[in-house]
Amino acid sequence: MISLNDQYSVAILKTVFHSLERSISRAVSNYLQTNYAVDVPVTTEQPKQSSFGEMALPVAFQLAKQLKKAPVMIAKELAAGLSGQIEGVAAFEVANGYLNVRFDRGWFAREILTGNGFETQEFSIRKTIVEHTNINPNKAAHIGHLRNAILGDTFVRMMKAMGTRVETQNYIDNTGVQVADVVAAFHFVEKKTAAEVAELAKQPRFDYLCWDLYSKVAQMEEVKGWRTETLHSIESGEGALSEMGHVVADAIVDCHLNTMLRLGIQYDVLPRESEILHLKFWANCFELLKEQKAIYFENEGKNKGCWVMPGSAFRENAGEEDSKVIVRSNGTVTYVGKDIAYQLWKFGLLGKDFYYRKLRTYPNGSVCYVSTATREGAERVQFGGGTSVYNVIDSRQSYLQDVVVAGLKALGYPNQADKSIHFSYEMVALTPRTCVELGIELSEEDKTKTTVEMSGRKGLGVKADDLIDQLIERAQVEVDSRHADKSKESRTKVAEQIAVCSLRYFLLKFTRTSVIAFDLQEALSFEGETGPYVQYAAVRANNILRKVATLPDFKAVLPEEVLRTVLETEDLWQLLLDISRLESVLEAAVKSGEPAALAKYAFQLAQGFSKFYHDYRVLDEADEARRNVLLWMTMHFAKQLEKTLNTLGIAVPEYM
Q: Minimum CB separation from RNA for residue 427, in Å?
A: 7
What are 360's strand-pairing partners? Answer: 368
Contacts 24+ apart (CB under 8 A), 203-207: 204/255, 205/140, 205/255, 205/465, 206/251, 206/252, 206/255, 207/139, 207/140, 207/141, 207/251, 207/252, 207/255, 207/256
Backbone torsions φ then ψ of 608, nearest 5 degrees:
-60, -45
50 contacts RNA (rule: CB under 7 A): no
Contact between residue 308 and residue 296 where contact means Cβ atoms under 8 Å apart? yes
461 contacts RNA (rule: CB under 7 A): no
What is the CA 269 to chain-centroid distance, rounded?
18
Which of 376/527 has CB closer to RNA?
A: 527
How many residues line the site for RNA (CB under 7 A)? 100
281 contacts RNA (rule: CB under 7 A): no
Q: Considering only residues 28-47, where is the footprint of RNA by CB under 7 A?
A: 43-47
The amino acid that residue 69 corresponds to is: K
Q: Considering only residues 315-334, where is the footprint of RNA by CB under 7 A?
A: 317, 322, 325, 328-330, 332, 334
Provide the pairing of β-strand 269-270 with 296-297. unpaired
Q: Which stretch binds RNA (CB under 7 A): 243-251, 296-304, 344-352, 461-469?
A: 296-304
Among 17, 155, 347, 603, binds RNA (CB under 7 A): 603
Q: Which stretch binds RNA (CB under 7 A): 240-248, 255-263, 282-290, 589-597?
A: 589-597
The interaxial angle of helices 488-508 and 595-615, nearest 10 deg, is 120
What are 336's strand-pairing partners? Answer: none
The amino acid that residue 624 corresponds to is: E
Q: Which stretch binds RNA (CB under 7 A): 103-111, 289-297, 345-353, 514-522?
A: 514-522
Q: Considering only residues 110-149, where is the footprint of RNA by CB under 7 A?
A: 136
492 contacts RNA (rule: CB under 7 A): no
511 contacts RNA (rule: CB under 7 A): yes
513 contacts RNA (rule: CB under 7 A): yes
From first CA to last CA, the distance across the chain in angstroms is: 18
- Sort 439 into a burial class: Cβ within 10 Å, 0-12 / 13-18 / 19+: exposed
449 contacts RNA (rule: CB under 7 A): yes
Q: Minimum CB separation from RNA for residue 284, in Å?
A: 19
Among 74, 582, 597, 598, binds RNA (CB under 7 A): 597
Q: Minimum CB separation from RNA for residue 303, in Å?
A: 5
Which of 402/560 has CB closer to RNA?
A: 402
Among residues 379, 388, 365, the alpha carbon closest in space to that of 166 is found at 388
- Rounded alpha-carbon distances, angstroms, from residue 21 to 43, 120, 434, 486, 581: 9, 17, 47, 47, 11
SS3 for 554-596 is HHHHCCHHHHHHHCCCHHHHHHHHHHCCHHHHHHHHHHHCCHH
Among 224, 302, 447, 458, binds RNA (CB under 7 A): 302
655 contacts RNA (rule: CB under 7 A): yes
Among 8, 31, 61, 118, binds RNA (CB under 7 A): 61
Which of 206/425 has CB closer to RNA?
A: 425
Among residues 213, 257, 227, 497, the alpha carbon closest in space to that of 369 is found at 257
Provide the pairing of β-strand 324-327 with 307-309. antiparallel
Among 26, 224, 358, 396, binds RNA (CB under 7 A): 396
Among 478, 493, 565, 593, binds RNA (CB under 7 A): 478
The interaxial angle of helices 16-36 and 105-114, nearest 10 deg, is 130
Contact between residue 78 and residue 31 where contact means Cβ atoms under 8 Å apart? yes
Which of 544/577 has CB closer to RNA?
A: 544
Among 23, 62, 258, 492, binds RNA (CB under 7 A): 62
Among 24, 460, 498, 503, binds RNA (CB under 7 A): 498
343 contacts RNA (rule: CB under 7 A): no
How would you list the strands of the sheet with 428-430, edge to edge? 452-453, 428-430, 516-518
Integer Cα distance of 273 and 269 in angstroms: 13
Contacts 24+ apart (CB under 8 A), 532-535: 532/475, 532/498, 532/501, 532/502, 532/656, 533/603, 533/606, 534/501, 534/505, 534/602, 534/603, 534/605, 534/606, 534/641, 534/645, 534/650, 535/497, 535/498, 535/501, 535/645, 535/650, 535/652, 535/653, 535/656
Q: Which stretch binds RNA (CB under 7 A): 30-38, 121-129, 375-383, 587-595?
A: 587-595
Q: Considering only residues 223-252, where is the footprint of RNA by CB under 7 A?
A: none
Among 119, 482, 570, 623, binds RNA (CB under 7 A): 482
Q: Minimum CB separation from RNA for residue 183, in Å?
A: 15
Which of 107/510 has CB closer to RNA?
A: 510
Q: Determine the 3-state secondary structure of 385 from DSSP.
A: coil
Among 211, 347, 383, 536, binds RNA (CB under 7 A): 536
Q: Minimum CB separation from RNA for residue 630, in Å?
A: 8
Integer Cα distance of 523 and 150 in angstroms: 15
Which of 305/348 has CB closer to RNA?
A: 305
216 contacts RNA (rule: CB under 7 A): no
Which of 137/649 has CB closer to RNA?
A: 137
Q: Which stretch binds RNA (CB under 7 A): 4-12, 49-57, 121-129, 256-264?
A: 49-57
544 contacts RNA (rule: CB under 7 A): yes
Q: Where are the alpha helices (DSSP H) in 134-239?
A: 143-161, 177-184, 194-200, 206-217, 223-236
Q: Which stretch binds RNA (CB under 7 A): 23-31, 50-58, 106-114, 345-353?
A: 50-58
400 contacts RNA (rule: CB under 7 A): yes
Q: Which stretch binds RNA (CB under 7 A): 106-114, 183-191, 379-387, 525-533?
A: 525-533
Among 5, 34, 65, 489, binds RNA (CB under 7 A): 65
Q: Minimum CB separation from RNA for residue 589, in Å?
A: 9
What are 424's strand-pairing partners? Answer: 393
Provide the pairing of β-strand 296-297 with 307-309. antiparallel
Q: Considering only residues 158-197, where is the footprint of RNA by CB under 7 A?
A: 173, 176-178
Rg (CA), the chain: 29
Q: Minimum CB separation from RNA for residue 193, in Å?
A: 26
561 contacts RNA (rule: CB under 7 A): no
Q: Minimum CB separation from RNA for residue 346, in Å?
A: 16
Among residues 515, 390, 359, the alpha carbon closest in space to that of 452 is found at 515
What is the CA 89 to chain-centroid distance, rounded?
36
What does the per-residue mask of binding to RNA show for 606-635, with x meaning CB under 7 A?
-x--xx-xxxxxxxx---------------
446 contacts RNA (rule: CB under 7 A): no
Provide the pairing of β-strand 89-95 with 98-103. antiparallel
